[in-house]
A and B are shown apart, each in its own frame.
Chain A
Protein backbone atom coordinates (compact mmCIF):
# COMPACT_ATOMS: atom_id res chain seq x y z
CA UNK A 1 0.00 0.00 0.00
CA UNK A 2 1.34 3.43 -0.90
CA UNK A 3 1.44 6.20 1.66
CA UNK A 4 -1.54 8.53 2.13
CA UNK A 5 -2.68 11.27 4.43
CA UNK A 6 -5.53 10.19 6.68
CA UNK A 7 -8.45 12.54 7.40
CA UNK A 8 -11.34 12.02 9.75
CA UNK A 9 -14.12 14.57 9.21
CA UNK A 10 -16.95 14.86 11.71
CA UNK A 11 -19.63 15.81 9.21
CA UNK A 12 -20.61 15.31 5.58
CA UNK A 13 -19.90 18.99 4.93
CA UNK A 14 -16.35 18.67 6.26
CA UNK A 15 -15.85 15.53 4.21
CA UNK A 16 -17.07 17.28 1.05
CA UNK A 17 -14.69 20.19 1.72
CA UNK A 18 -11.79 17.78 2.12
CA UNK A 19 -12.76 16.08 -1.13
CA UNK A 20 -12.94 19.40 -2.97
CA UNK A 21 -9.58 20.56 -1.57
CA UNK A 22 -7.56 17.40 -2.15
CA UNK A 23 -7.27 16.13 -5.67
CA UNK A 24 -7.64 12.35 -6.07
CA UNK A 25 -8.76 11.95 -2.47
CA UNK A 26 -10.84 8.84 -1.78
CA UNK A 27 -13.62 8.26 0.71
CA UNK A 28 -13.45 5.21 2.93
CA UNK A 29 -16.33 3.79 4.99
CA UNK A 30 -16.17 0.01 5.48
CA UNK A 31 -13.02 -0.22 3.40
CA UNK A 32 -13.80 -3.67 2.07
CA UNK A 33 -13.37 -2.68 -1.54
CA UNK A 34 -10.89 0.16 -1.29
CA UNK A 35 -8.35 -1.42 1.07
CA UNK A 36 -7.90 -4.59 -1.00
CA UNK A 37 -7.22 -2.55 -4.15
CA UNK A 38 -4.89 -0.23 -2.23
CA UNK A 39 -2.97 -3.28 -0.99
CA UNK A 40 -2.61 -4.45 -4.57
CA UNK A 41 -1.48 -0.94 -5.50
CA UNK A 42 -4.28 -0.70 -8.06
CA UNK A 43 -5.38 2.41 -6.18
CA UNK A 44 -3.03 4.87 -4.54
CA UNK A 45 -5.08 7.79 -3.23
CA UNK A 46 -2.84 10.48 -1.69
CA UNK A 47 -5.65 11.34 0.75
CA UNK A 48 -8.04 9.01 2.52
CA UNK A 49 -11.17 10.55 4.05
CA UNK A 50 -12.70 8.29 6.68
CA UNK A 51 -16.49 8.65 6.84
CA UNK A 52 -16.94 5.95 9.46
CA UNK A 53 -16.93 8.34 12.41
CA UNK A 54 -19.71 10.59 11.05
CA UNK A 55 -22.84 10.23 13.17
CA UNK A 56 -26.35 9.71 11.86
CA UNK A 57 -25.57 8.29 8.43
CA UNK A 58 -26.44 4.68 9.20
CA UNK A 59 -30.16 4.88 9.97
CA UNK A 60 -32.81 2.56 8.56
CA UNK A 61 -36.39 3.90 8.61
CA UNK A 62 -39.69 4.11 6.77
CA UNK A 63 -40.53 7.54 5.40
CA UNK A 64 -43.99 7.53 3.87
CA UNK A 65 -43.99 4.73 1.30
CA UNK A 66 -40.20 4.58 1.04
CA UNK A 67 -37.60 2.58 2.91
CA UNK A 68 -34.71 4.95 3.60
CA UNK A 69 -31.28 3.50 4.36
CA UNK A 70 -28.32 5.64 5.41
CA UNK A 71 -25.17 5.36 3.30
CA UNK A 72 -23.12 4.04 6.23
CA UNK A 73 -25.57 1.23 7.06
CA UNK A 74 -23.67 -2.03 7.07
CA UNK A 75 -24.82 -5.07 5.09
CA UNK A 76 -25.32 -6.90 8.41
CA UNK A 77 -27.57 -4.07 9.67
CA UNK A 78 -29.73 -4.24 6.55
CA UNK A 79 -29.86 -8.04 6.68
CA UNK A 80 -30.90 -8.05 10.36
CA UNK A 81 -33.27 -5.07 10.30
CA UNK A 82 -36.89 -5.86 11.21
CA UNK A 83 -37.92 -2.73 9.28
CA UNK A 84 -36.30 -3.98 6.07
CA UNK A 85 -37.66 -7.51 6.57
CA UNK A 86 -41.17 -6.10 6.85
CA UNK A 87 -40.94 -3.54 4.03
CA UNK A 88 -38.68 -5.20 1.46
CA UNK A 89 -37.73 -8.76 2.41
CA UNK A 90 -35.95 -9.15 -0.95
CA UNK A 91 -33.50 -6.49 0.18
CA UNK A 92 -32.82 -8.27 3.51
CA UNK A 93 -32.05 -11.42 1.60
CA UNK A 94 -29.79 -9.59 -0.84
CA UNK A 95 -27.80 -8.01 2.00
CA UNK A 96 -27.44 -11.41 3.71
CA UNK A 97 -25.84 -12.83 0.55
CA UNK A 98 -23.02 -10.27 0.36
CA UNK A 99 -19.57 -11.59 1.30
CA UNK A 100 -19.45 -13.44 4.62
CA UNK A 101 -20.55 -12.48 8.17
CA UNK A 102 -17.36 -10.54 9.01
CA UNK A 103 -17.42 -8.69 5.68
CA UNK A 104 -21.07 -7.77 6.27
CA UNK A 105 -20.10 -6.23 9.60
CA UNK A 106 -17.99 -3.62 7.78
CA UNK A 107 -19.19 -3.16 4.18
CA UNK A 108 -21.72 -0.37 3.59
CA UNK A 109 -24.53 0.22 1.10
CA UNK A 110 -23.12 3.63 0.15
CA UNK A 111 -19.71 2.14 -0.56
CA UNK A 112 -21.17 -0.61 -2.70
CA UNK A 113 -23.14 1.87 -4.81
CA UNK A 114 -20.32 4.40 -5.15
CA UNK A 115 -17.96 1.68 -6.36
CA UNK A 116 -20.47 0.27 -8.89
CA UNK A 117 -18.64 -3.00 -9.20
CA UNK A 118 -20.23 -4.90 -12.11
CA UNK A 119 -20.68 -7.92 -9.83
CA UNK A 120 -22.05 -6.07 -6.78
CA UNK A 121 -25.55 -6.86 -5.51
CA UNK A 122 -27.04 -3.53 -4.42
CA UNK A 123 -27.00 -1.94 -7.90
CA UNK A 124 -29.47 -4.62 -9.07
CA UNK A 125 -31.89 -3.73 -6.26
CA UNK A 126 -31.58 0.01 -6.87
CA UNK A 127 -32.24 -0.25 -10.58
CA UNK A 128 -35.09 -2.76 -10.19
CA UNK A 129 -36.89 -0.81 -7.49
CA UNK A 130 -36.21 2.62 -8.95
CA UNK A 131 -34.44 3.78 -5.79
CA UNK A 132 -33.44 7.39 -5.28
CA UNK A 133 -29.78 7.87 -4.45
CA UNK A 134 -29.46 10.95 -2.28
CA UNK A 135 -26.16 12.83 -2.09
CA UNK A 136 -24.97 15.97 -0.33
CA UNK A 137 -25.90 17.85 -3.53
CA UNK A 138 -28.88 16.22 -5.24
CA UNK A 139 -31.09 13.23 -5.79
CA UNK A 140 -30.26 10.76 -8.53
CA UNK A 141 -32.27 8.01 -10.20
CA UNK A 142 -30.39 4.75 -10.84
CA UNK A 143 -30.55 5.21 -14.62
CA UNK A 144 -28.47 8.38 -14.32
CA UNK A 145 -26.37 7.23 -11.36
CA UNK A 146 -24.91 4.00 -12.81
CA UNK A 147 -22.74 4.87 -15.79
CA UNK A 148 -20.87 1.67 -16.55
CA UNK A 149 -17.95 -0.29 -15.20
CA UNK A 150 -16.93 1.20 -11.80
CA UNK A 151 -18.36 4.51 -13.01
CA UNK A 152 -21.12 6.62 -11.49
CA UNK A 153 -22.53 10.12 -11.89
CA UNK A 154 -20.90 11.18 -8.61
CA UNK A 155 -18.88 14.38 -8.92
CA UNK A 156 -15.44 14.61 -7.28
CA UNK A 157 -16.84 16.30 -4.14
CA UNK A 158 -20.14 14.45 -4.01
CA UNK A 159 -21.02 12.00 -1.22
CA UNK A 160 -23.91 9.55 -1.03
CA UNK A 161 -25.86 10.15 2.17
CA UNK A 162 -28.82 7.80 1.82
CA UNK A 163 -30.85 5.63 -0.51
CA UNK A 164 -34.66 5.66 -0.67
CA UNK A 165 -36.32 2.48 -1.94
CA UNK A 166 -39.94 2.54 -3.10
CA UNK A 167 -41.77 -0.57 -1.86
CA UNK A 168 -42.55 -3.37 -4.27
CA UNK A 169 -45.77 -5.41 -4.35
CA UNK A 170 -43.57 -8.44 -4.90
CA UNK A 171 -39.82 -8.75 -5.25
CA UNK A 172 -37.02 -11.27 -5.01
CA UNK A 173 -33.30 -11.49 -5.67
CA UNK A 174 -31.61 -14.70 -6.73
CA UNK A 175 -27.85 -14.88 -6.90
CA UNK A 176 -25.53 -17.44 -8.42
CA UNK A 177 -22.37 -16.87 -6.45
CA UNK A 178 -18.81 -17.21 -7.53
CA UNK A 179 -17.77 -19.83 -4.98
CA UNK A 180 -14.41 -18.22 -4.27
CA UNK A 181 -15.21 -14.52 -4.14
CA UNK A 182 -18.91 -14.61 -3.11
CA UNK A 183 -19.57 -11.95 -5.73
CA UNK A 184 -22.40 -12.56 -8.18
CA UNK A 185 -21.47 -14.61 -11.22
CA UNK A 186 -25.00 -13.58 -12.13
CA UNK A 187 -27.66 -12.04 -9.90
CA UNK A 188 -31.23 -11.26 -10.96
CA UNK A 189 -33.59 -8.91 -9.12
CA UNK A 190 -37.27 -9.06 -10.06
CA UNK A 191 -39.65 -6.40 -8.77
CA UNK A 192 -43.37 -5.97 -9.34
CA UNK A 193 -44.05 -2.33 -8.61
CA UNK A 194 -47.27 -0.33 -8.91
CA UNK A 195 -45.68 1.24 -12.01
CA UNK A 196 -44.78 -2.08 -13.65
CA UNK A 197 -42.38 -5.00 -13.56
CA UNK A 198 -38.62 -4.59 -13.61
CA UNK A 199 -35.96 -7.23 -14.06
CA UNK A 200 -32.33 -6.29 -13.49
CA UNK A 201 -29.12 -8.24 -13.82
CA UNK A 202 -25.78 -7.86 -12.08
CA UNK A 203 -22.57 -9.85 -12.55
CA UNK A 204 -23.15 -10.52 -16.23
CA UNK A 205 -23.01 -7.18 -18.01
CA UNK A 206 -19.73 -5.82 -19.31
CA UNK A 207 -20.99 -2.36 -18.40
CA UNK A 208 -22.49 -3.29 -15.05
CA UNK A 209 -26.11 -3.60 -13.99
CA UNK A 210 -28.79 -3.61 -16.72
CA UNK A 211 -32.50 -4.26 -17.30
CA UNK A 212 -33.98 -7.09 -19.36
CA UNK A 213 -36.92 -5.41 -21.04
CA UNK A 214 -38.06 -8.54 -22.89
CA UNK A 215 -38.54 -10.27 -19.51
CA UNK A 216 -40.26 -7.19 -18.09
CA UNK A 217 -42.80 -7.08 -20.92
CA UNK A 218 -43.59 -10.78 -20.60
CA UNK A 219 -43.93 -10.59 -16.81
CA UNK A 220 -46.07 -7.48 -17.12
CA UNK A 221 -48.64 -9.62 -18.97
CA UNK A 222 -48.32 -12.57 -16.61
CA UNK A 223 -46.20 -12.53 -13.46
CA UNK A 224 -45.38 -16.24 -13.63
CA UNK A 225 -42.07 -17.99 -14.30
CA UNK A 226 -43.75 -19.73 -17.25
CA UNK A 227 -44.17 -16.37 -18.96
CA UNK A 228 -40.39 -16.36 -19.55
CA UNK A 229 -40.39 -19.68 -21.42
CA UNK A 230 -38.80 -19.34 -24.82
CA UNK A 231 -37.41 -15.84 -24.25
CA UNK A 232 -33.64 -15.88 -24.54
CA UNK A 233 -31.14 -13.26 -23.44
CA UNK A 234 -28.44 -12.44 -25.95
CA UNK A 235 -24.86 -13.13 -24.88
CA UNK A 236 -23.68 -10.00 -26.71
CA UNK A 237 -21.89 -7.64 -24.33
CA UNK A 238 -21.91 -10.12 -21.43
CA UNK A 239 -18.79 -10.91 -19.43
CA UNK A 240 -16.78 -13.95 -20.32
CA UNK A 241 -14.00 -15.18 -18.05
CA UNK A 242 -12.59 -18.31 -16.44
CA UNK A 243 -15.65 -18.51 -14.17
CA UNK A 244 -18.17 -18.63 -17.00
CA UNK A 245 -18.62 -17.84 -20.68
CA UNK A 246 -20.98 -15.15 -21.95
CA UNK A 247 -23.32 -17.87 -23.23
CA UNK A 248 -23.38 -19.51 -19.81
CA UNK A 249 -24.15 -16.20 -18.13
CA UNK A 250 -26.93 -15.51 -20.65
CA UNK A 251 -28.42 -18.91 -19.82
CA UNK A 252 -28.14 -18.24 -16.08
CA UNK A 253 -30.04 -14.97 -16.43
CA UNK A 254 -33.08 -16.85 -17.72
CA UNK A 255 -32.84 -19.56 -15.05
CA UNK A 256 -32.36 -17.12 -12.19
CA UNK A 257 -35.12 -14.78 -13.41
CA UNK A 258 -37.59 -17.68 -13.29
CA UNK A 259 -36.43 -18.63 -9.81
CA UNK A 260 -36.77 -15.02 -8.70
CA UNK A 261 -40.35 -14.80 -10.02
CA UNK A 262 -41.21 -18.03 -8.21
CA UNK A 263 -39.60 -16.73 -5.02
CA UNK A 264 -41.46 -13.41 -5.27
CA UNK A 265 -44.78 -15.21 -5.80
CA UNK A 266 -44.09 -17.67 -2.98
CA UNK A 267 -43.62 -14.81 -0.54
CA UNK A 268 -46.90 -13.03 -1.22
Chain B
Protein backbone atom coordinates (compact mmCIF):
# COMPACT_ATOMS: atom_id res chain seq x y z
CA UNK B 1 0.00 0.00 0.00
CA UNK B 2 1.08 3.57 -0.58
CA UNK B 3 0.01 6.73 1.18
CA UNK B 4 -1.19 9.59 -0.98
CA UNK B 5 -2.11 13.14 -0.08
CA UNK B 6 -3.33 15.63 -2.57
CA UNK B 7 -5.61 18.63 -2.78
CA UNK B 8 -8.77 17.78 -4.70
CA UNK B 9 -11.07 20.66 -5.55
CA UNK B 10 -9.48 22.70 -2.79
CA UNK B 11 -9.92 20.05 -0.10
CA UNK B 12 -7.09 17.83 1.22
CA UNK B 13 -7.57 14.13 0.45
CA UNK B 14 -5.42 11.45 2.05
CA UNK B 15 -5.64 7.69 1.68
CA UNK B 16 -3.73 4.43 1.77
CA UNK B 17 -4.06 2.88 -1.66
CA UNK B 18 -2.74 0.11 -3.84
CA UNK B 19 -0.02 1.76 -5.95
CA UNK B 20 -1.77 0.41 -9.04
CA UNK B 21 -4.73 2.73 -8.43
CA UNK B 22 -5.21 5.11 -11.34
CA UNK B 23 -5.96 8.72 -10.54
CA UNK B 24 -9.38 8.36 -12.15
CA UNK B 25 -10.15 5.33 -9.96
CA UNK B 26 -9.01 7.21 -6.88
CA UNK B 27 -11.28 10.14 -7.73
CA UNK B 28 -14.30 8.01 -8.57
CA UNK B 29 -14.03 5.13 -6.11
CA UNK B 30 -12.24 6.60 -3.10
CA UNK B 31 -13.54 10.14 -3.23
CA UNK B 32 -16.84 9.36 -4.96
CA UNK B 33 -16.27 12.15 -7.46
CA UNK B 34 -18.00 10.37 -10.31
CA UNK B 35 -18.21 13.36 -12.63
CA UNK B 36 -14.88 12.28 -14.14
CA UNK B 37 -15.67 9.44 -16.53
CA UNK B 38 -13.77 6.46 -17.87
CA UNK B 39 -14.43 6.05 -21.56
CA UNK B 40 -11.71 4.23 -23.46
CA UNK B 41 -9.21 3.74 -20.60
CA UNK B 42 -6.42 4.11 -23.21
CA UNK B 43 -5.77 7.90 -23.11
CA UNK B 44 -7.56 8.50 -26.39
CA UNK B 45 -11.12 9.65 -25.64
CA UNK B 46 -10.64 12.38 -23.03
CA UNK B 47 -13.68 11.55 -20.88
CA UNK B 48 -11.33 11.41 -17.87
CA UNK B 49 -9.67 14.81 -18.29
CA UNK B 50 -9.01 16.64 -15.01
CA UNK B 51 -6.57 19.41 -14.15
CA UNK B 52 -3.33 18.51 -12.40
CA UNK B 53 -1.74 21.69 -11.02
CA UNK B 54 -3.97 23.60 -13.42
CA UNK B 55 -3.15 21.63 -16.57
CA UNK B 56 -5.41 19.22 -18.43
CA UNK B 57 -4.31 15.58 -18.07
CA UNK B 58 -5.91 12.22 -18.72
CA UNK B 59 -6.63 10.71 -15.32
CA UNK B 60 -6.80 7.17 -16.76
CA UNK B 61 -3.12 7.31 -17.63
CA UNK B 62 -1.78 8.58 -14.35
CA UNK B 63 -1.20 6.67 -11.16
CA UNK B 64 -2.76 8.29 -8.12
CA UNK B 65 0.61 8.01 -6.35
CA UNK B 66 2.13 10.18 -9.09
CA UNK B 67 -0.31 12.95 -8.15
CA UNK B 68 0.83 12.80 -4.51
CA UNK B 69 1.53 16.30 -3.23
CA UNK B 70 -0.17 17.90 -6.22
CA UNK B 71 -3.44 19.69 -6.74
CA UNK B 72 -6.30 18.20 -8.76
CA UNK B 73 -9.43 19.89 -10.06
CA UNK B 74 -12.33 17.83 -11.38
CA UNK B 75 -15.57 18.91 -13.03
CA UNK B 76 -17.12 19.05 -9.54
CA UNK B 77 -14.55 21.66 -8.57
CA UNK B 78 -15.44 24.21 -11.24
CA UNK B 79 -18.45 25.58 -9.36
CA UNK B 80 -19.54 25.07 -5.76
CA UNK B 81 -22.69 23.07 -5.01
CA UNK B 82 -25.72 25.29 -5.42
CA UNK B 83 -23.64 28.15 -6.86
CA UNK B 84 -24.14 29.32 -10.46
CA UNK B 85 -22.44 27.12 -13.05
CA UNK B 86 -18.92 27.90 -14.26
CA UNK B 87 -19.15 30.06 -17.45
CA UNK B 88 -17.93 27.13 -19.58
CA UNK B 89 -20.56 24.81 -18.09
CA UNK B 90 -23.21 27.47 -18.62
CA UNK B 91 -22.10 27.86 -22.25
CA UNK B 92 -22.49 24.11 -22.86
CA UNK B 93 -25.99 24.27 -21.32
CA UNK B 94 -26.99 27.38 -23.24
CA UNK B 95 -25.67 26.20 -26.63
CA UNK B 96 -26.70 22.59 -26.33
CA UNK B 97 -23.08 21.38 -26.37
CA UNK B 98 -24.04 17.86 -25.33
CA UNK B 99 -26.44 15.07 -26.05
CA UNK B 100 -25.80 12.03 -23.86
CA UNK B 101 -23.34 13.96 -21.71
CA UNK B 102 -20.78 11.22 -21.21
CA UNK B 103 -17.89 13.14 -22.79
CA UNK B 104 -19.00 16.51 -21.39
CA UNK B 105 -16.93 16.68 -18.17
CA UNK B 106 -13.76 15.95 -20.14
CA UNK B 107 -14.77 18.39 -22.87
CA UNK B 108 -15.33 21.15 -20.33
CA UNK B 109 -12.09 20.51 -18.43
CA UNK B 110 -10.20 20.50 -21.74
CA UNK B 111 -11.97 23.70 -22.81
CA UNK B 112 -11.09 25.52 -19.57
CA UNK B 113 -7.43 24.46 -19.97
CA UNK B 114 -7.53 25.68 -23.57
CA UNK B 115 -8.77 29.11 -22.48
CA UNK B 116 -6.06 29.26 -19.80
CA UNK B 117 -3.41 28.61 -22.44
CA UNK B 118 -4.74 30.36 -25.53
CA UNK B 119 -7.00 33.12 -24.28
CA UNK B 120 -10.62 34.10 -24.72
CA UNK B 121 -10.84 34.75 -28.44
CA UNK B 122 -10.65 31.30 -29.98
CA UNK B 123 -11.14 30.53 -33.66
CA UNK B 124 -13.16 27.55 -34.80
CA UNK B 125 -9.98 26.02 -36.20
CA UNK B 126 -8.07 26.37 -32.91
CA UNK B 127 -10.91 24.82 -30.91
CA UNK B 128 -11.18 21.85 -33.30
CA UNK B 129 -7.42 21.28 -33.27
CA UNK B 130 -7.30 21.43 -29.49
CA UNK B 131 -10.16 18.95 -29.14
CA UNK B 132 -8.23 16.20 -30.90
CA UNK B 133 -7.89 14.29 -27.64
CA UNK B 134 -11.61 14.41 -26.77
CA UNK B 135 -14.08 12.18 -28.53
CA UNK B 136 -17.84 12.71 -28.72
CA UNK B 137 -20.01 10.06 -30.37
CA UNK B 138 -23.28 12.01 -30.38
CA UNK B 139 -23.00 15.61 -31.38
CA UNK B 140 -20.77 15.81 -34.42
CA UNK B 141 -18.87 18.46 -32.40
CA UNK B 142 -20.64 21.46 -33.97
CA UNK B 143 -22.34 22.65 -30.80
CA UNK B 144 -19.36 21.73 -28.64
CA UNK B 145 -17.22 24.11 -30.70
CA UNK B 146 -19.88 26.81 -30.49
CA UNK B 147 -20.15 26.29 -26.71
CA UNK B 148 -16.40 26.52 -26.16
CA UNK B 149 -16.11 29.73 -28.18
CA UNK B 150 -18.96 31.26 -26.14
CA UNK B 151 -17.62 29.91 -22.85
CA UNK B 152 -14.18 31.29 -23.57
CA UNK B 153 -15.63 34.77 -24.07
CA UNK B 154 -17.81 34.45 -20.96
CA UNK B 155 -14.77 33.52 -18.85
CA UNK B 156 -13.42 37.09 -19.20
CA UNK B 157 -16.07 38.50 -16.90
Stretch at the interface among A86-94, A96-104, A126-134: A96-104
Q: Does B97 have its Cβ within 8 Å of any Cβ on chain A?
A: no
Q: Does A48 have its Cβ within 8 Å of any Cβ on chain B?
A: yes
Residue pair B20, A1 in contact (C-beta under 8 Å) = yes
Residue pair B130, A101 in contact (C-beta under 8 Å) = yes
Q: Does B74 have its Cβ within 8 Å of any Cβ on chain A?
A: no
Specify the main secondary structure of chain B where it touches its partner.
mixed
Complex: A180 Cα to B133 Cα, angstroms: 10
Can you name the residue of chain B whose Cβ is closest to the Cβ of A182?
B132
| Complex contacts, A53 vs chain B, CB 8 Å | 69
Residue pair B61, A35 in contact (C-beta under 8 Å) = yes
Residue pair B42, A100 in contact (C-beta under 8 Å) = no
Q: Does B43 have its Cβ within 8 Å of any Cβ on chain A?
A: yes
Q: Binary interface profile of A, 104-116, with partner B (CB < 8 Å = 1, else 0)?
A: 0110000000000
Residue pair A106, B62 in contact (C-beta under 8 Å) = yes
Residue pair B65, A6 in contact (C-beta under 8 Å) = yes
Q: Binary interface profile of B, 21-53, with partner A (CB < 8 Å = 1, else 0)?
A: 000000000000000000001111010010010
Q: Does B120 have its Cβ within 8 Å of any Cβ on chain A?
A: no
| Complex contacts, A101 vs chain B, CB 8 Å | 56, 110, 113-114, 117, 130, 132-133
Residue pair A99, B61 in contact (C-beta under 8 Å) = no
| Complex contacts, B134 vs chain A, CB 8 Å | 100
Q: Does A21 have its Cβ within 8 Å of any Cβ on chain B?
A: no
Q: Does A211 have its Cβ within 8 Å of any Cβ on chain B?
A: no
Residue pair B19, A4 in contact (C-beta under 8 Å) = yes
Residue pair A32, B114 in contact (C-beta under 8 Å) = no
Residue pair A35, B62 in contact (C-beta under 8 Å) = yes
Complex: A52 Cα to B52 Cα, angstroms: 13
Check A102/B65 contact, CB under 8 A, given A1-B20, A182-B132: no
Check A36/B42 contact, CB under 8 A, given A4-B19, A50-B66, A100-B133: yes
A67-105 interface with B by 8 A CB criterion: 76, 80, 99-103, 105
Complex: A41 Cα to B55 Cα, angstroms: 29
- B interface, CB within 8 angstroms of A: 2, 18-20, 41-44, 46, 49, 52, 55-58, 61-63, 65-66, 68-69, 110, 113-114, 117, 130, 132-134
- A interface, CB within 8 angstroms of B: 1, 3-6, 8, 28, 31-32, 35-36, 39, 48, 50, 52-53, 76, 80, 99-103, 105-106, 180-182
A-B contact pairs, 9 of them (CB 8 A): A39-B41, A76-B55, A80-B117, A99-B133, A100-B46, A101-B114, A102-B46, A103-B61, A106-B58
